[in-house]
Structure 1
Amino acid sequence: MKINSIKIISVILITLLLSSCVDDNFDVPTPSGSEENKELSIILGNIANDINWNLVSIADLKSRYSSGSAPVAITSNDVVKGYVVSSDRTGNFFQEIYIQDSPENPTAGIRVVLNLRSSYTRYNVGREVYVYLNGLYLGETNSGDGIISIGGKVNPDDSDEIEVISENQLGNHVFRSTNTETIIPKTIKVAEIGDNLIGTFIRIEDAFFPAELDGLTIIDPNEDFDTQRTLSACNGSGFSEFILETSSFANFSQVKMQSDEGGAISAILTKDFGGNNFVVVINDVEDIQFNESLCQPLDLSTFTPIFEEDFEGTSGSGDLTITGWTNYSQEGTRLFRSYNDSNSGSRATSIGAFRSGDASTITWLITPSINLDATANEFFSFESSNSFADGSELEVLISTDWDGTEANIATATWNSLPAAVVTDSENFRNWVSSGDVDLSSFTGNAYIAFKYIGSGDSGSDGTFEIDNIKVVAQ
């Protein structure tokens, strides 16, 4: 099914009559003045010529803070650069802007909380901004919500939270350049939604409003603040769900959802107030482009397998050895092992650091090369289970530039695949499907890796088991 297009018709005009806190003055953004330009020039000069001044990336800045911890006071002359991706023009954002590190294909985004209404007239979408961080704080406005933000001070009523940058502080800390770039949303699958993309402008295709939402307004009339609507998107042979969150003060709150068409939605990825769910928040109802026929799930039963491994050809219970595969210990002594799974009654492979005595275990199991140029619409899947479910990690990665040698594993480019991996809470008898992971965006000769991270410590020595690896294609 395709994401139901929200038909935006004359009902939009009705929404403009809504009473809310929205400033309906839709003036164009004011240009940065000569004084602001001069101050920014001084800052950029200091970065270029003074070793005590640093231009830091958004990702590096966010790495200084852990969710739920006390705010971090910034006392160094650090400056972070970003491009504005949010807008409060329609009332769907309030006292905040989100900036990301690039106008296109961003790698990180962050929220800046500020005491300014109609901020779109100053920090318009695409505007290049620089935030002078000395004297500001890094933290969360609601402790533990997972939305790392830049603020002006610590909340006097809760020392674990930050508050907005005051209007008086803004002139000394947030500077606009004269550049405004076109923001290109980053197209992702629902399964790729994660903390690394919070604060960035994303696009989800093949999306729709489910039939049960047909005819309802975007905002639940019984909600005072935010409404969450669960949307769907086609995902290989099935569907994925994600949450659209909209403020009750948005001037398009009375637009009705329709489920007969689908398409793409572009929005900022963030989390809800409690940090319990990822949500997408649109700048304007026009960011929902549902004007296509509904998508249909693919029938993967008609696809041809181009790679399969069920480990039935292995024997014994020693270290796994299969022609073409790489079983490599980057740190520690443990390798993936071959074994017979009594619960499924089949052969499989497992990895765990239990009683290894190793301070760190990093082990790779990598498939042989898989040619993705000879086919189209490739999908990857596998099954995973666990034993002694204790805090270890299993990452699923893909590379198209690895040369096949152990010496160059660490220097190759490995992209994370949005595959479902068994969780610690799953019963050890159960096998969990990864789902159908779309590989169609990759070309060339690809290698798929299972990367285990753990240690001999009892808190991170769990065991993962893998079976029924398959790549199918048209």
Structure 2
Amino acid sequence: MEINKIILCLVALVTSLLFKACIEDGDYTVPQGLGGEENLKLKGILDSIQNNQLELKSIKDLKGLYILGKPPVKIVSNIVVKGYVISSDAKGNYFREFFMQDAPENPTAGIRIAINLTNSYNKFNVGRVLYIRLKDLYLGEVNSGDGVLTIGGKVSATDAMEIESVALNQMNNHFFRSEETAVIVPKEVSLAGINASDIGTFICVKELVFPLGLEGKSFVDPKEDFDTQRKIQSCQTLGYADLLLETSSFASFGNKALPMGGGIINAVVSKDYNGHFLVLVLNTSDDVKMTNERCTTRSESDFPLTLLAEYFETASGEISITDWINYREAGTKSWRSYSDTYSQSKAARMGSKNSGDAYTSTWLLTKGVDLESTAEEFLSFETSNSFANGSTLKVLISTDWEGTAAAVSSATWHVLPAKIVSNGEGYKNWVHSTFINLSDYAGTAFIAFKYTGSGNVYFDGTYELDNITIIAK
């Protein structure tokens, strides 16, 4: 009997040791009720914020502390950022990183956190409210120039322009979980309208299909060692908008066949490794719901009327077109004509490089277009760039503008969901805007191309614009 007891004790001891060996150091189970020590630490942080000993800064304001293209920023002030975790590495599609955004629904900004922890979903589950005390952490890019702003633990030892992950032994002093886990509601967006401001947020895109040429393909190309990008398309009334879905070769669903029906995708907006283009990244293949019929679209031949057409072929110097306005709201630079060597045609160009201006805001406004006598109208154009460098280009529409430069600022302008060339796009390439449906607007409409930048080298990029048309039926 005594021998049996000894044997049972030994078995229990060995089992215990084996069990502990299969668990990473630390308690990384999904916290339903956090431990007393962790709760006390969070309470101390919240009390310090309440007493103005720590400053609670929004993700959007935090991101404003870093200038793209400059070295990482070390946070030296007593600031805290709050976020809601929106990504999960449970299926292997993220590696030593997670994203958080500033609200559980309708977020305005998101950010990536690089952390030296695998299976981080056990500690930072989707919806978990997290406070990060930022003093002595860094803000920058993991891969210099990729355009994905990240919180990290130190500057890279091999590249002073990059940051490395937050170390495990830094976490206890900087990361503070709340007991709250919120329901994350994906923000509904159009595929064509996704832009850099959406990076780090959880979105939903409807009316999606994978191109028929991908039938029989899986999420991951077996010839790829790291990431695979698959084109996804959204049907518009006229034509398609497209973007790329990126999947890691280590994702557990990588060999799963792409669905050929139509439906929706819920995903985190990010960029590819080099930062050349925007991508969507899944938490799980369950976030791809394409069991409906494939959507259909019409062709340009269905819209034979041309309400506006400008190709800039007769322009020279500063753009001056009858009934158009080239308006400098701020700064000294105007839209100008230039000849594109690669496309062998003329186009319009705007950039604030070498302007010396603290702020640039320049509008190129079309003549009025009558939308009353046609049933459906679609705007399209093409853009290219010579390093966007923090500058922005937006396309807007107004139906109450009086048509004068003095009235631009007092008119009501709506941003249209057009696809604009990204900073990482090759300078030889022209990007189609997709066809933007104007059917929700009535009366006389004016289209505006608004450039914003400055003489600062980090915000002085150049955009090119060509082939502006509005077609109708």
Global fold match (TM > 0.5) = yes
Q: Paired residue for 1:154?
A: 155
* Displacement of 1:283: 0.7
- Contact map agreement 2:101 2:201 (CA 8 A) in 1: yes
Question: Are residues 381 and 40 of structure 1, via their aligned partners in 2, closer, same or farther at CA, if it must alter by over 3 Å?
Answer: same
Q: Paired residue for 1:470?
A: 470
- Contact map agreement 1:115 1:166 (CA 8 A) in 2: yes
Q: 39, 42, 52: which is aligned to 1:37?
A: 39
Matches within 5 A, 1:211-250: 211-250=212-251
* Displacement of 1:43: 2.1
**More relative contact order, 1 or 2 (CA 8 Å, 6+ apart):** 1
* Displacement of 1:64: 2.3
* Displacement of 1:464: 5.7
**CA deviation map 1:301-359 (0-9, x unaligned):** 435869546599x9999985866x665321246666999xxxx9x9x996768999884
Question: Are residues 425 and 134 of structure 1, via their aligned partners in 2, closer, same or farther at CA, if it must alter by over 3 Å?
Answer: closer
Supply the AA of the counterpart residue of 1:287.
D
| Cα distance between partner residues in 1 of 2:383 and 2:159 | 42
| Cα distance between partner residues in 2 of 1:350 and 1:161 | 36
Q: Paired residue for 1:113?
A: 114
Supply the AA of the counterpart residue of 1:296.
T
| Cα distance between partner residues in 2 of 1:128 and 1:328 | 46
* Displacement of 1:284: 0.9
**CA deviation map 1:69-115 (0-9, x unaligned):** 43211111111121111012222222211001222222221111223
- Contact map agreement 2:237 2:437 (CA 8 A) in 1: no
* Displacement of 1:167: 2.3
- Contact map agreement 2:394 2:451 (CA 8 A) in 1: no
Identity of aligned residues (%): 40
Matches within 5 A, 1:2-151: 29-50=31-52, 53-151=54-152
**CA deviation map 1:340-397 (0-9, x unaligned):** xxxx9x9x996768999884653323357779899987532246799xx797977233
**CA deviation map 1:419-449 (0-9, x unaligned):** 456999459xxxx684444346966786531
Q: Paired residue for 2:365?
A: 366
Supply the AA of the counterpart residue of 2:379.
F
- Contact map agreement 2:379 2:438 (CA 8 A) in 1: no
What SS does the corresponding residue of 2:192 show, helix, strand or coil? helix
Segment of structure 1 superposing worse, 41-50 or 83-92: 41-50
Question: Are residues 356 and 470 of structure 1, via their aligned partners in 2, closer, same or farther at CA, if it must alter by over 3 Å?
Answer: farther
- Contact map agreement 1:400 1:442 (CA 8 A) in 2: no
- Contact map agreement 2:333 2:352 (CA 8 A) in 1: no
Matches within 5 A, 1:182-331: 182-259=183-260, 261-303=261-303, 308=308, 320=320, 328-331=327-330
| Cα distance between partner residues in 1 of 2:110 and 2:416 | 18
Question: Are residues 410 and 108 of structure 1, via their aligned partners in 2, closer, same or farther at CA, if it must alter by over 3 Å?
Answer: farther
- Contact map agreement 2:104 2:127 (CA 8 A) in 1: yes
**CA deviation map 1:181-207 (0-9, x unaligned):** 222222333333332222111223232
* Displacement of 1:413: 6.1
Q: CA RMSD in A?
A: 4.7
Aligned pair count?
439
- Contact map agreement 1:394 1:464 (CA 8 A) in 2: no
Supply the AA of the counterpart residue of 1:35.
E
Q: Paired residue for 1:451?
A: 450
Supply the AA of the counterpart residue of 1:196.
S
- Contact map agreement 1:31 1:122 (CA 8 A) in 2: no
Q: Which runs of 5+ in 1 are unaligned?
A: 1-20
- Contact map agreement 1:22 1:249 (CA 8 A) in 2: no
Question: Are residues 54 and 166 of structure 1, via their aligned partners in 2, closer, same or farther at CA, if it must alter by over 3 Å?
Answer: same
Question: Are residues 377 and 132 of structure 1, via their aligned partners in 2, closer, same or farther at CA, if it must alter by over 3 Å?
Answer: farther
Q: Paired residue for 2:11?
A: none
Q: Which runs of 5+ in 2 are unaligned?
A: 1-21
- Contact map agreement 1:400 1:444 (CA 8 A) in 2: no
| Cα distance between partner residues in 1 of 2:380 and 2:468 | 8
- Contact map agreement 1:372 1:442 (CA 8 A) in 2: no
| Cα distance between partner residues in 1 of 2:92 and 2:36 | 30
- Contact map agreement 1:126 1:183 (CA 8 A) in 2: yes
Question: Are residues 84 and 440 of structure 1, via their aligned partners in 2, closer, same or farther at CA, if it must alter by over 3 Å?
Answer: farther
**CA deviation map 1:200-243 (0-9, x unaligned):** 11223232233343233323334443333333333453334432
Q: Paired residue for 2:12?
A: none
| Cα distance between partner residues in 1 of 2:354 and 2:155 | 44
| Cα distance between partner residues in 2 of 1:222 and 1:355 | 42
TM-score (norm 1): 0.74
**CA deviation map 1:284-308 (0-9, x unaligned):** 1111111111111223443586954
Question: Are residues 68 and 464 of structure 1, via their aligned partners in 2, closer, same or farther at CA, if it must alter by over 3 Å?
Answer: closer
* Displacement of 1:176: 2.2
| Cα distance between partner residues in 1 of 2:316 and 2:73 | 53
Question: Are residues 27 and 288 of structure 1, via their aligned partners in 2, closer, same or farther at CA, if it must alter by over 3 Å?
Answer: farther
Segment of structure 1 superposing worse, 28-37 or 137-146: 28-37
- Contact map agreement 2:325 2:366 (CA 8 A) in 1: yes
| Cα distance between partner residues in 1 of 2:347 and 2:229 | 41
Supply the AA of the counterpart residue of 2:255.
Q
What SS does the corresponding residue of 2:169 show, helix, strand or coil? helix
What SS does the corresponding residue of 1:191 show, helix, strand or coil? coil
| Cα distance between partner residues in 2 of 1:391 and 1:119 | 35
What SS does the corresponding residue of 1:190 show, helix, strand or coil? coil
Supply the AA of the counterpart residue of 1:81.
K
